[in-house]
A = this chain, B = another copy of it.
């Protein structure tokens, strides 16, 4: 982290700085893109904004990534190589654990956490853009669904449970973080570090547990 340098950084370390070096600026651009697109979505923030955040020119962004869409693909595809970690959750506690994570948006040691949460916002804010859509579909199908589906057993029924869980999580993010609609708009409570509303956690926990436990019929 901490790569979001401003364009004037000629202070610390060896003299090789105003030319930051290939990998460093590439990473800076990528980080700036992720941050900007998490806050505002694919259509809303242009290359000049991202470049400016990275302390760079728009032309350079395209020299490194070729295209706005390609930059987006890299920005969302690299969020977390191995997002697992939910394998440890006690099946009986699945609902409460995921409800807490979903509603607080806070870092939770047991599960994907912060990075994942940001990725969800980036996804939701960029979902309407035609250029971003195929990228996001790939991301959902190849990166976020598989671990969830694996947790539920890996078969077709598991994928349905996973889709339902993900749907609730995404919907909550839309209402709470994007539209900032009550009673889900807990953005400030997140900043204040307080816990989420207990009743909300109870409802969400019950729903998520249902998704995990409800018996299903035909296997194919």
Min distance, Cβ A94 to any Cβ of chain B, angstroms:
13
Q: How far is the CA of A111 from the CA of B128 in the complex (A)?
A: 27
Listed by A's residue number, 25 A-B pairs whose Cβ atoms lie within 8 Å are A41-B128, A43-B44, A43-B128, A44-B130, A124-B174, A133-B179, A140-B181, A157-B199, A163-B175, A163-B181, A163-B184, A164-B172, A164-B200, A164-B207, A167-B184, A168-B171, A170-B174, A171-B172, A171-B174, A198-B218, A199-B218, A203-B216, A207-B207, A207-B208, A207-B211
A193 an interface residue at 8 Å Cβ cutoff?
no
A6 an interface residue at 8 Å Cβ cutoff?
no
Interface residues of A in 164-206 (CB under 8 A from B): 164, 166-172, 174-175, 178-184, 197-200, 202-204, 206
Interface residues of A in 145-175 (CB under 8 A from B): 145, 156-157, 159-161, 163-164, 166-172, 174-175
- Identical chains in the assembly: 2
Interface residues of A in 85-127 (CB under 8 A from B): 124-127
Min distance, Cβ A199 to any Cβ of chain B, angstroms:
5
A26 an interface residue at 8 Å Cβ cutoff?
no
Residues of A bordering B, CB below 8 Å: 40-41, 43-44, 124-130, 133, 136-137, 140-141, 145, 156-157, 159-161, 163-164, 166-172, 174-175, 178-184, 197-200, 202-204, 206-211, 214, 216-218
